[in-house]
Amino acid sequence: MIQPLEILFLGASALLGSTLAGVTGFGGAAVLLPVLVYFFGVKDAIPILTIAQLIGNGSRVYFHRHELNYSVVLYFAIGAIPSALLGGYFFASAPTSLLLRIVGLFLILTVVWRRWQREKVVKFPIVAFLPLGALMSFLSALVGSVGPFMVPFFLAFGLTKSAFIGTEALATVVMHVFKSIAYGRSDLLTTRTILIGLGIGPLMILGSWLGKRILHSISEKMFVLLVELTLLIAGISFLIRS
pLDDT over 80 at 66, yes or no: yes
pLDDT for the residue 107: 66
Q: Does residue 4 or residue 98 have the better pLDDT? A: 4
pLDDT band, very low/low/confident/very high, at 170 (cuts 50, 70, 90)? very high
Window from 5-9, 45-49, 97-101, 180-184 with minimum mean pLDDT: 97-101
pLDDT over 60 at 151, yes or no: yes
* CB contact set of 173 (below 8 Å; sequence gap of 6+): 54, 57, 58, 61
